[in-house]
C-alpha cells in the first residue's frame, strides 16, 4: 500500500478547513493518510487549537501569506508520502477518490500528475472540470472541458492525458516532484499550477485526468467580484506564463496579440464599467515585465492580510 500525503492550505477559513478534515476522516476509505495543513498567515492563528483537537494531523504555521504556491510548497516540504495529493481546503472527498488516483498512477509510471473529475459542491451533478484543452501559446488561452454542464458521463471517455491538472485537486508522484521541483512562488495567485504542469511535462512525465474519481469543490458557480489584486495577478501572470514556457517567436506573437487585442479590450471594459482604478493596476501588470526577469521574487503588488 503506497503512502499518500494530503497537503491543504488554510487562509482565514478555519471552518471550511475543518469540514475537509471531517470529510477525510469520515468519508475517505484509503488507509494511513498523512495529512498536512498549512495555515498561510491567517489573521487569527488556528493552529494551537487544531493541534489539541487533531493530534494525528501535522499543522504548520506561516506568519506570512505566501500565496497558493508558497503555502503548498511549505506543506510539500513536510510530506513523506509516495504520492502527494494537494487539495484545496474548500473541497470534500468521495470514498474511493484517493484509491482510484493511486491505482491509476501505479499502473502507469509515465504519469507524473493526475486530477480527478470535479463537481461543484453546491450544484449537485454540475461539472467544474473534466480536463483542460492544450494551451494556445500565441494567445495564452485554453478551455476547461465540461465546466458548468450537467454530468451525464459525456466526457468520461477523456480519462487519460490532459492539457493541465486542476489546482483544486492534484496528485503528484514523489519522483516527479523531486525532478520538476515545487510550484513557482513568484506567481503568487493564478497560473502557478499551469506552469507546474509544464515543468512536470518537460521533466518527462505526463499529466492525466481520471474521470472515474470524483471530488466536490465549494467554489461558487458565479464569478466573484473583481478586485485590484485579481486584475493585477491575472494579467501579470498571463504574460509571465508565456515568458517562462513559450519564449522566442511564440512570445513575440503573444505580445503583439496582447497589445493589439487584450489591452484595448480591457481598457474599454474598465471605462464602460466605470472601473477607472483598474487602469493603472493593469498598466502595472504589464510594466512589471520591463523591470523584472521571469524568476524575480518581486511580486509587484502590496499584499495585506
Please tell me the predicted confidence (pLDDT) of residue 222.
59
Question: Shortest CA distance to 173 belongs to which of 213, 206, 214?
Answer: 206
Task: Supply the DSSP symbol for 155.
Answer: T
Which residue in this structure is represented by grid cell 510548497? 73
What would the pLDDT profile of 204-227 be if each residue is shown by its tens digit?
999 999 999 999 999 866 556 789
What would the pLDDT profile of 46-80 be if each residue is shown by its tens digit?
999 999 999 999 999 999 999 999 999 999 999 99
Please tell me the predicted confidence (pLDDT) of residue 305.
46
What would the pLDDT profile of 109-159 be if each residue is shown by its tens digit?
999 999 999 999 999 899 999 999 999 999 999 999 999 999 999 999 999
- pTM score of the predicted model: 0.95
Which residue in this structure is represented by grid cell 471594459? 269
Which helix (H) or strand (E) segment holds residue 118: the answer is strand 111-120
Please tell me the predicted confidence (pLDDT) of residue 296.
95
Q: What is the mean pLDDT of residues 293-304?
A: 88
Give the alpha-carbon dihedral of 243, 139, 221, 70, to 10 degrees.
0
The overall average pLDDT reported for the chain is 96
- The C-alpha atoms of residue 149 and residue 219 are separated, in whole angstroms, by 15
What would the pLDDT profile of 151-209 be if each residue is shown by its tens digit?
999 999 999 999 999 999 999 999 999 999 999 999 998 999 999 999 999 999 999 99
Other CB atoms within 10 A of residue 51 CB: 13
Query: Which three three-digit cell numbers place residue 287?
Result: 510594466
Please tell me the predicted confidence (pLDDT) of residue 193.
97
- The C-alpha atoms of residue 262 and residue 118 are separated, in whole angstroms, by 30
**Which residues neighbour 31 within 8 Å (Cβ) at sequence distance 6 or greater?**
1
- The C-alpha atoms of residue 26 and residue 20 are separated, in whole angstroms, by 10
Amino acid at each position: 500500500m503506497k503512502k499518500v500525503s494530503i497537503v491543504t492550505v488554510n487562509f482565514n477559513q478555519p471552518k471550511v478547513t475543518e469540514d475537509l478534515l471531517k470529510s477525510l476522516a469520515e468519508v475517505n476509505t484509503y488507509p494511513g493518510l498523512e495529512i498536512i495543513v498549512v495555515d498561510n498567515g491567517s489573521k487569527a492563528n488556528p493552529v494551537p487549537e487544531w493541534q489539541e483537537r487533531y493530534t494525528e494531523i501535522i499543522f504548520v504555521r506561516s506568519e506570512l501569506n505566501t500565496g497558493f504556491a508558497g503555502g503548498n510548497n511549505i506543506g510539500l516540504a513536510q510530506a513523506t508520502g509516495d504520492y502527494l495529493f494537494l487539495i484545496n481546503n474548500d473541497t470534500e472527498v468521495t470514498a474511493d477518490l484517493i484509491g482510484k488516483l493511486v491505482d491509476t498512477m501505479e499502473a502507469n509510471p509515465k504519469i507524473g500528475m493526475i486530477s480527478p473529475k470535479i463537481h461543484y459542491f453546491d450544484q449537485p451533478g454540475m461539472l467544474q472540470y473534466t480536463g483542460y484543452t492544450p494551451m494556445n501559446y500565441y494567445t495564452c488561452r485554453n478551455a476547461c472541458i465540461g465546466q458548468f454542464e450537467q454530468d451525464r458521463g459525456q466526457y468520461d471517455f477523456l480519462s487519460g492525458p490532459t492539457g493541465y491538472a486542476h489546482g483544486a485537486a492534484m496528485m503528484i508522484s514523489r519522483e516527479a516532484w523531486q525532478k520538476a521541483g515545487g510550484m513557482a512562488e513568484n506567481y503568487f495567485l493564478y497560473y502557478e499550477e499551469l506552469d507546474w504542469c509544464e515543468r512536470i511535462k518537460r521533466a518527462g512525465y505526463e499529466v492525466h485526468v481520471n474521470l472515474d474519481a470524483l471530488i466536490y469543490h465549494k467554489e461558487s458557480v458565479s464569478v466573484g467580484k473583481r478586485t485590484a489584486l485579481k486584475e493585477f495577478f491575472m494579467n501579470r501572470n498571463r504574460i509571465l506564463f508565456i515568458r517562462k514556457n513559450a519564449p522566442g517567436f511564440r512570445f513575440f506573437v503573444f505580445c503583439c496579440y496582447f497589445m493589439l487585442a487584450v489591452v484595448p479590450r480591457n481598457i474599454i471594459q474598465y471605462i464602460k464599467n466605470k472601473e477607472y482604478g483598474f487602469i493603472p493596476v493593469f498598466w502595472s501588470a504589464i510594466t512589471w515585465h520591463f523591470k523584472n526577469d521571469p524568476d524575480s521574487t518581486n511580486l509587484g503588488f502590496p499584499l495585506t492580510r
